[in-house]
């Protein structure tokens, strides 16, 4: 059902033009919401989003943003409020990641800083920017991303800087949940499993046609799995769920699968 008029809810989705974020953006647009979506450098994928939703162009704002840069995050918040006046859903989908497998002692200072700034600091800055609006409206949904085991502060060999930031984000998620509950605001974390390559923008139906013997449920995870989970957590009647960490893995042990 389209939520039109001045009461249309607005979602701010970082890195929402491709990968897991694209499926989340599509889900919010199907719900009839307006969205501000960031991208870092892939202009082609950003424009593809617009071309895929010609009937919803007036509900889409694209903002080029590097979440590791505080100035970019500040500008993003300003542009969002200038055009739409509020943020009801904050989806912190962006999260820098170093694909090279290296131990903690081999990380450079610059790599460490990028992991912390992009995966932890940016969430704090975005939270600070949107929370006054959410409090004023008595409603808000904040979704952060983690990794399997983040809630138990698991170590993750070769992914130490990323993991450290996300484990810190678990505590931040729970603190926000406690502090903002009285204002009708929830904050939860979603932890995707081993969703790679084209499966990030695939549907569940497509995944079921491609058996995956490595995942206990028999299929790979998809972007749709993540989008459906986030959609559920953002519903009005999901207000009893806050400070939770949801692992969407299909039963796969993501951290230790390569050990």
Q: Are 122 and 169 in contact (CB under 8 A)?
A: no
* Local structure of 60: helix, strand or coil: strand
- The residue with tokens 């800083």 is 113
Taking the C-alpha atoms of residue 14 and residue 37, their distance in angstroms, rounded to an integer, is 6
- The residue with tokens 């519903």 is 235
Q: For the chain, give every domain's residue range.
A: 5-248
Q: Are 185 and 241 in contact (CB under 8 A)?
A: no
Q: Which residues contact 6 (CB under 8 A, 6 or more apart)?
A: none
Nearest Cα to 133, choosing from 172, 92, 78?
Answer: 78
| CB crowding 222-246: b at 16 or more within 10 Å, else e | bbbbbbbbbbebbeeeeeeebbbbb
Per-residue pLDDT of the chain (259 residues; tens, 9 = 90+): 334 444 699 999 999 999 999 999 999 999 999 999 999 999 999 999 999 999 999 999 999 999 999 999 999 999 999 999 999 999 999 999 899 999 999 999 999 999 999 999 999 999 999 999 999 999 999 999 999 989 988 888 899 999 999 999 999 999 999 999 999 999 999 999 999 999 999 999 999 999 999 899 999 999 999 999 999 999 999 999 999 999 999 998 877 665 4
Q: Which CATH number fits domain 5-248: 3.40.50.720, 3.40.50.2300, 3.30.70.360, 3.30.499.10?
A: 3.40.50.720
- The residue with tokens 């990030």 is 200
| CB crowding 78-112: b at 16 or more within 10 Å, else e | ebbbeebebbbbbbbbbbbebeeeeeeeebeeebb
pTM of full prediction above 0.85: yes
Burial class (CB in 10 A: 0-12, 13-18, 19+), 178: exposed
């Amino acid at each position: 059902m389209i939520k039109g008029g001045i009461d249309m809810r607005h979602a701010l989705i970082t890195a929402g033009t491709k990968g897991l974020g694209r499926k989340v953006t599509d889900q919010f647009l199907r719900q009839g919401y307006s969205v501000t979506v960031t991208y870092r450098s892939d202009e082609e994928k950003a424009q593809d989003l617009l071309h895929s939703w010609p009937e919803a162009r007036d509900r889409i704002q694209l903002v080029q943003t590097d979440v590791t840069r505080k100035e970019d995050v500040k500008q993003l918040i300003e542009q969002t409020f200038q055009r739409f006046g509020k943020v009801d859903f904050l989806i912190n989908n962006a999260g820098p990641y170093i694909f090279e497998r290296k131990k903690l002692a081999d990380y450079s200072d610059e790599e460490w800083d990028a992991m912390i700034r992009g995966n932890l600091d940016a969430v704090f800055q975005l939270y600070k920017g949107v929370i006054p609006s959410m409090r004023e409206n008595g409603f808000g949904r904040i979704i952060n991303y983690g990794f399997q085991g983040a809630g138990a502060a698991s170590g993750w060999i070769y992914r130490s800087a990323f993991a450290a930031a996300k484990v810190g984000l678990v505590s931040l998620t729970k603190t926000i949940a406690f502090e903002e509950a009285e204002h009708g605001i929830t904050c939860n974390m979603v932890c995707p499993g081993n969703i790679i390559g084209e499966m990030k923008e695939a549907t569940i139906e497509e995944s079921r046609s491609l058996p995956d013997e490595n995942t206990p449920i028999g299929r790979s995870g998809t972007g749709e799995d993540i989008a459906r989970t986030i959609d559920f957590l953002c519903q009005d009647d999901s207000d009893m769920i806050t400070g939770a960490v949801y692992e969407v893995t299909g039963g796969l042990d993501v951290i230790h699968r390569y050990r």
